[in-house]
Chain A
Amino acid sequence: MGVAIGGSAGALDSVHDILGEIPPTVAAVFLLVIHISPTVESLLTTVVGAYTDMAVVEALDKLPLATRTVFVAPPDYHMLVERDSTISLSRDPAEHFSRPAIDPLFETAAIAFGRRGIGVLLSGSNADGAAGLAAMRAAGCKTVVQDPDSATSPEMPRAALEMFKPDLVASPKAIGRWLASTLGGRR
Chain B
Amino acid sequence: MTTGVEDEVLLDGLLDVIFDRYHYDFRNYARASLRRRVIAAMGRLNVGSIDGLTQRISNDARAFGELLPWFTVQLSDMFRDPQYFKFFREQVVPVLRTYPSRKLWVAGCSTGEEAYSFAILLREENLLDRTLIYATDIYEASLRTAAAGVFDLDRMRTFTENHKKSGAKTSLSEHFATTPHGAMFDKDLKDHIVFADHSLATDAVFAEVQVVSCRNVLIYFTAQLQERALGLFHGALVRHGWLGLGPKETIEFSRYRPNFLPHQYRWYEKKAATL
The chain A residues found within 8 Å of chain B, CB to CB, are: 59-62, 64, 74, 77-78, 80-83, 86, 88-93, 104, 107-108, 110-112, 114, 131, 134-135, 138-139
Contact = CB atoms under 8 A, between A and B. Distances in A.
- Nearest 10 A/B pairs, CB to CB: A80-B32, A135-B2, A108-B32, A90-B33, A88-B30, A61-B219, A88-B32, A89-B219, A107-B2, A91-B216
Contacts of B8: 83, 111
Contacts of A134: 1
15 contacts: A60-B252, A61-B248, A61-B249, A74-B248, A78-B33, A83-B31, A89-B219, A90-B30, A90-B219, A92-B33, A92-B37, A111-B2, A111-B3, A111-B5, A135-B2
A60 B2 contact: no
Interface of B: 1-5, 8, 30-33, 35-37, 74-75, 216, 218-220, 223, 226, 246-250, 252-253
Contacts of A104: 32-33, 36
Contacts of A110: 2
A139 B4 CA distance: 7
Given A74-B248, A114-B5, A138-B2, A108 B35 contact: yes
A60 B248 contact: yes
Given A82-B32, A107-B36, A88 B1 contact: no
Contacts, number: 81
A74 B30 CA distance: 18
B237 to A, nearest CB: 21
A82 B5 contact: no
B165 to A, nearest CB: 12
Contacts of B246: 61
B226 A62 contact: yes
Given A89-B219, A111-B2, A111-B5, A62 B31 contact: no
A59 B32 CA distance: 15
Given A61-B248, A77-B248, A135-B1, A91 B219 contact: yes
A78 B35 CA distance: 14
Contact of A82 (B30, B220, B248, B250): B30
B250 A60 contact: yes
A176 B3 CA distance: 29
A59 to B, nearest CB: 7
B15 to A, nearest CB: 15
Contacts of A78: 33
Among A89, A112, A138: residue with most chain B CB under 10 A: A89
Contacts of A60: 248-250, 252
Given A62-B253, A74-B248, A82 B31 contact: yes
Nearest to A87: B32
Nearest to B29: A88
B32 to A, nearest CB: 4
A104 B250 CA distance: 22
Given A60-B249, A89-B219, A139-B4, 11 more contacts: A60-B252, A61-B246, A82-B31, A83-B8, A88-B31, A90-B32, A108-B35, A110-B2, A111-B2, A114-B5, A139-B2
Among A86, A91, A93, A134: residue with most chain B CB under 10 A: A91
Contacts of B5: 111, 114, 139
Contacts of A89: 219, 248
A42 to B, nearest CB: 11
A93 B44 CA distance: 15
A108 B8 CA distance: 12
Contacts of B2: 107, 110-111, 135, 138-139
